[in-house]
Structure 1
C-alpha cells in the first residue's frame, strides 16, 4: 500500500509514515477506548469523509496498528480494534493530548466533544504517583455521557458506561450539551455538580485528574 515517504532513516519519520496522515491518530484515540464498528467511527468523528475513513482503516490495518474482529453476539458485523502494537501508541497519544491541552482555551465555533475525547483526556492527565495508595471508583454522568473511572492502587481503568460495581462517588454534570474535559473539571472545582456518595472523593478526583498547567 502506497504511503508517505519522508526518505529518512529515523524512528519518528517512520512513525509519521505509518500514523501521520490526517485523522489517523484520532481513529487510534477512539479505538483506544474500545473497539468500534465502522458506523461508530463515523459517528464519533464528524467531518471525516467516508472514503478517507475507509482508506485510513486499510492503512492502519496494513501497518499492524489495528485489526478486524467479529462482533460477539448479540451484535453483528465487524469491529475494529487496536492490536498490541497499536496499544503501544497510547503513551504517545496521552503526551500529545497533554501538550495540546496547554494550547486550548474555549472551544472554537463548530468544535464538538465526544465521550472518547473526554475519556482519553482523563486517562492522559491521570497522576499515577498521586494515586499510588488509592482505591476508588467514580461514575460521571452528563447529557449523552456516562463513564466510569476505577483506580486500584494507582492503576486506572476507564470506560464508557456505568461503573462495574457500586461507585464510591457519582458526579453529575448538567450542561446543555456534552461537556469537554476542561469544562467538566472546572465545574467540579467550582462545585457546579451534583454529588452522590463519598463527597470527600471530589477533592481526590480533582487532584489525580488535574488540568495540565503551562510550566
Structure 2
C-alpha cells in the first residue's frame, strides 16, 4: 500500500469518526440521557403533569382557558413576564425562530406563554406583548392563586424579588414540549442550539 492510499484511508476514517461523534452528541441531547431538564423548574423526581391532570384556569384575549383545551395539538409552554429584561424576550424570539424554521409543519403547534407576574401582566398587556412574536404564541394571565396552581402543575418555581422601589421576578427559563395527547415529552433549555431545539419539537409533530 503506497503512502497516498494510506493517507486517503486515514482521512476517510477520520471523517467517519467525526460524523459518528456528531450523531452521538445529537442523539444524547435530543433523545438520550443528556436531554435537557432545567433543575430550576423540574424536580428530579417529579415531571410536569399531563394537561388532562391539571386543574387551573387562565385567561387569554379570547376568554378563559383550561389546560384540557390545549389537548389535540403539539404545545410549547413557557413561563415568564412582560417586564423581564432579557430571558423572556430572548426565549420568545427563539421560539419564533424555531417555528419559522419548521415552516409549513408549524401549523398544528400552539405556544403558550404564562405570566408569573399577574399583578402587572393583565390579559391585554399579554396580548399586546406576544403580538411582537410568532402568531402561534398566545399569552395567558390569571389570578395569583391560579398562576401558582399552573406553576405547580408544571413543577415551575418563581419568586418576587424587590429591586429599589419596584420588583422583578425570578423564574425558570425552560420551554416545555407536549405532544398532541397533552403529555409531557421533554424540555428545551434556553442555551441549547437551535438545531437541537427544532429536533425536539419535531418529535411531537
> TM over 0.5: same fold?
no
Q: Which structure would you say has the larger RCO, counting Cα contacts within 8 Å and 6 or more residues apart?
A: 2
Please tell me whether Structure 1 or Structure 2 has the larger radius of gyration of its CA atoms: 2
Q: With structure 2 as the length reference, what TM-score do the two structures score?
A: 0.24
